[in-house]
Amino acid sequence: MSLFNHATLQCRDKLKTLRRTSLELGASIAIAAFASTYFFLFSKLVNLIFLSTKRITS
């Protein structure tokens, strides 16, 4: 195997690793955004329920 072929294979492997890492990073960012949105909506729902029960009792 020539030196050029070896360098090409190494570069291709590094690109595959980089692509996989960026996909994992993108997936974790998407999961974090989804979780924070879900938590925000859940807290709003709890707040609404708390306020409605407070109005009923008072």
Q: What is the model's pTM?
A: 0.57
Cα(13)–Cα(19) distance, integer angstroms = 10
For 26-57, b where at least 16 C-beta lie within 10 A, e where not — what string?
Answer: eeeeeeeeeeeeeeeeeeeeeeeeeeeeeeee
| Residue 24 structure tokens | 């994992």
- pLDDT for the residue 1: 61
Tell me what pLDDT residue 29 has. Answer: 93
pLDDT in tens, the chain (58 residues): 687 788 888 989 998 998 889 999 999 999 999 999 999 999 999 999 988 887 777 6
